Amino acid sequence: MDHLPLRIFEYTDYRAFLKDALQALKEKDSKFSQRWVVQRLGVKSSGWLADMLAGRRNLTRTQTALFSGLLCLNAREELYFQTLVAYDLAKSLPEKNRCYEKLLTFHEVPKDLVDPDRFEYFSHWWIPAIREYLLVEPYRGDAEKLARKMRPPISPAQAKAAVDLLERLGMVKRYASGERRPSVEHVKKQSQFSASVHYYRYLKTQMELGLGAMESIPKEERDISAVTLTLSEEGFATLREELKELRRKMVQLSENENRKFWHGVDGDSRRVYQAVLQLFPVSTMRNAKEAKQ
């Protein structure tokens, strides 16, 4: 079989790649039916392929290798395909991080699909914090001063590297005066392939920062609390929506204050705050049999 007319390195979802690849093969030769494919994979269920492409089933290591042979992938393409499958199967954040870092090594992948700069942005708490702080006071080249503004303090080298990274990402703009300020008021959560691993890294760093705040920041300067409660599925859904609305209000309040103080209005008391809202189960659900007892 000739090589595929599409590039696997333009895909970050192995199921999307397989769907397009199988369709391309079928258009070239009608023998490439779903039945033919599952027979070559040694699968007995006729509906297995449709279930796998829809995300209801996963590929095994053996099936991944068989698909690589079926699609005539070269060694480099096969390794990338295996990494995409491993990324999808990864259950923990460390596992996803390892797979993502491996994906970063494939120079064939367009940078907008796997972006090492954005990966770095979410890896350290002070990078998003500096982006927000530049809404309060622009960066004028004094990395030592900026580093002291962070809490806990960071090194001047870390502060300068953060500003340079933000500029490369387009999150910070350099003005004619030499000042650097954020180009937008708030960073929106991305919906692309790397969004989940980036966002989980971000949450992890913020949670770790919160642990230190319990001991290092006076009570009058923070608000950290916890509550344990019982909720039904409906109650959980309602509270989840309430938290979503609260996050929206928090962002709106911040944007309003940034516009209010943007031009150096007297009485600017802004600081960069970090809010981490958590709601998760700490018990299992009663099953129907237990409920009747």
| Residuewise pLDDT in 10s, the chain (293 residues) | 456 668 899 888 899 999 999 888 888 877 778 888 888 888 888 789 999 998 899 999 999 999 999 898 999 999 999 999 998 898 887 888 788 888 888 888 876 666 667 777 877 889 989 999 998 899 999 999 999 999 888 999 999 999 999 998 888 999 999 899 988 765 655 444 455 666 677 777 788 888 888 888 898 899 888 899 899 999 999 999 999 999 999 989 988 888 888 656 677 889 999 888 888 887 877 765 555 55
pLDDT at 261: 81
Contact criterion met (CB below 8 Å) for 68 and 172 = no
On whether both 192 and 136 belong to a single domain, the answer is yes
pLDDT at 147: 96
Q: How far apart are CA 91 and CA 10, in angstroms?
A: 24
Residue 99, in any domain of the structure: no
Contact criterion met (CB below 8 Å) for 245 and 172 = no
Residue 204, in any domain of the structure: yes
On whether both 137 and 221 belong to a single domain, the answer is yes
On whether both 52 and 124 belong to a single domain, the answer is no
On whether both 76 and 125 belong to a single domain, the answer is no
* Burial tier of 18 (Cβ tally within 10 Å: 0-12, 13-18, 19+): buried
Residue 38, in any domain of the structure: yes
| Residue 226 CB partners (closer than 8 Å, separation 6+) | none
pLDDT at 195: 56
Residue 284, in any domain of the structure: no
Residue 50, in any domain of the structure: yes
pLDDT at 29: 79
On whether both 243 and 179 belong to a single domain, the answer is yes
Contact criterion met (CB below 8 Å) for 106 and 87 = no
Strand partners, 180: 139, 174
pLDDT at 211: 81
Residue 244, in any domain of the structure: yes
Residue 103, in any domain of the structure: no
Residue 267, in any domain of the structure: no
pLDDT at 191: 41
On whether both 174 and 79 belong to a single domain, the answer is no
Q: How far apart are CA 97 and CA 99, in angstroms?
A: 5
On whether both 124 and 252 belong to a single domain, the answer is yes
pLDDT at 187: 61
Total number of domains in the chain: 2
On whether both 168 and 243 belong to a single domain, the answer is yes
Contact criterion met (CB below 8 Å) for 122 and 162 = no
Where in the sequence is the domain holding 157, given as residue range(s)? 120-261
The overall pTM is greater than 0.85 = no
